[in-house]
Structure 1
Amino acid sequence: MADRRAQIAEAGIRILATRGARALTHLNIDRELELAPGSTSYYARSRRDLISLIIDRLANRVTDDLAAQTIPQDLTPQAAASIVVAGLETTMRRAEDHRARLLLLLECRSDPELHAALSTRPTVRATFIDTATVMLRLLGVSQPSTNAHDFAGLVDGLLMQRVIRAAPVNEEAIVAAYLRGLMAKSAHRPPNNPNQAEGSSATPSRS
């Protein structure tokens, strides 16, 4: 039974990602899995039950690609930005998961319980928060555990930008600039020249 539930959830994710929320029906899942009509209804009576099954499946994706990156002790904003972008590249191998999650976030706006399960993704998000905290601490950012939540929000936004296939942006530049800003705020001074922030000496101006 557990295997069948997993198959149904996987089929639901595929349908959401490729055909949209309106195509997510019990009948379409039956057809996707070549099951007898009514088979999916045995495991998920209502549409809400079906969505809950899919959310549980998405929540069990415990591998955090961003957290899997190696973080050097001599971290700089640019190096941190490169790590984040590399993680985004890896996690987009599961693009269908992310598209399904985005559609369900919109679908479940009026259902606080399901929406909370989708938006928090406890295991994966908590792991990235821990990784972000380490990054910010190495960069000398004050209150790293607090700022890590905002950092995670920025990365999540960049991920959604990829998912919806919006106009491309310079992700490394955005993340590096954000981190430099946090470092400057922590030092109570305006942001330095990007080259200086990375530890490079500035070229003297000529009079």
Structure 2
Amino acid sequence: METRRPDIADAAIRVIARDGLRGLTHRAVDRELAIAIGSTSYYARTRRDLVELVVRRLSERTAGEVTRSSAPLPRTSAGLAKALAAVTEQVVAREADSRARLALAVDLVDEPDLHSLMTDGAPVRELLLSGARAGLEALGVDRPDEHALDLVTILDGLVYHRLAGPGVRGARADAERMLTAYLTGLPRAG
């Protein structure tokens, strides 16, 4: 039954978020779903197949969430910073997905095709970059194409800070303040 694949991927995401990529086994997913041992291997024969299933599921879900956003773009640095800080909080709130994504991005560096699906080749990546470009254009930033990647990278760093960096247990960076400073400092067209 094809509807089982998303359930398996979701369970595998939870396993990775809780136990790390080393904890991801077919048996661990079977246990997570409370299904017969060996069931997961019917849908994902190898561990690589299982990882690919997770990578594609994460990409699918993230792209779906990004495309649902249709709020008008703020026209001030402070307004855009506030909106981006809120997006960062939404990503952090999806803790299992975000932790699994971080673990996979690190562990898959030596597997270019899967790593690309988590990073620069992810379908959601162009959506993020085009959203960043649009936000920067709304501010009147000079050369928004050049600054869009920087902005997305800053957002990635803020998510890392909260989920795996010092923000997990220590003082948290003020995302809105940082983003406002960055956006305010960008050169304006004109």
Q: Same fold (TM over 0.5)?
A: yes
Match of 2:187 in 1: 183
5+ long unaligned stretches in structure 1: 188-207
1:63 maps to 65
* Distance in structure 1 (CA, Å) of the matches to 2:69 and 2:143: 20
RMSD over aligned CA atoms reads 2.0
| Equivalent position of 2:177 in the other structure | 173
Q: Structure 2: how far apart are the matches of 1:66 and 1:161?
A: 26
RCO higher in 1 or 2 (8 Å CA, sep ≥ 6)? Answer: 2
In structure 2, C-alpha distance between the alignment counterparts of 1:116 and 1:35, rounded to whole Å: 31
Amino acid at match of 2:12: G
Name segments (4+ residues, structure 1) moved above 6 Å: none
Amino acid at match of 1:120: D
Distance 1:161 1:121, change over 3 A: farther
Higher alpha-carbon Rg: 1
2:73 partner letter: I
Q: What percent of counterpart residues are identical?
A: 38
Q: How many residues align?
A: 184
Gaps of 5+ in 2: none
**Is the Cα contact below 8 Å between 1:69 and 1:83 reproduced in 2?**
no
Aligned AA (2:22) = R
Confirm or deny: 8 A CA contact 2:73 2:138 kept in the other structure.
Answer: no
Deviations 1:136-175 (A, max 9, x none): 1122211112211211111111112122152310111211
Distance 1:89 1:160 in 2: 12
How far residue 17 of structure 1 moved from its aligned partner, in angstroms, is 0.8
Partner of 1:126: 126
The one-letter amino acid paired with 1:103 is A
Q: How does 1:1-207 map to 2 (within 5 A)?
A: 1-61=1-61, 62-64=64-66, 67-72=69-74, 75-120=75-120, 122-164=122-164, 166-167=166-167, 168-183=172-187
Shift of 1:65: 7.9
Kindly provide the amino acid, as one letter, of the partner of residue 64 in structure 1: V
When structure 1 is superposed on structure 2, of 14-23 and 95-104 the one drifting more is 14-23
Q: In structure 1, how many angstroms separate the alpha carbons of the residues matched to 2:164 and 2:43?
A: 31
Q: Structure 1 125/116 Cα, relative in aligned 2: closer, same or farther at 3 Å?
A: same
Q: Given that residues 137 and 144 in structure 1 are in contact (C-alpha distance below 8 angstroms), is that contact kept between their aligned partners in structure 2?
A: yes
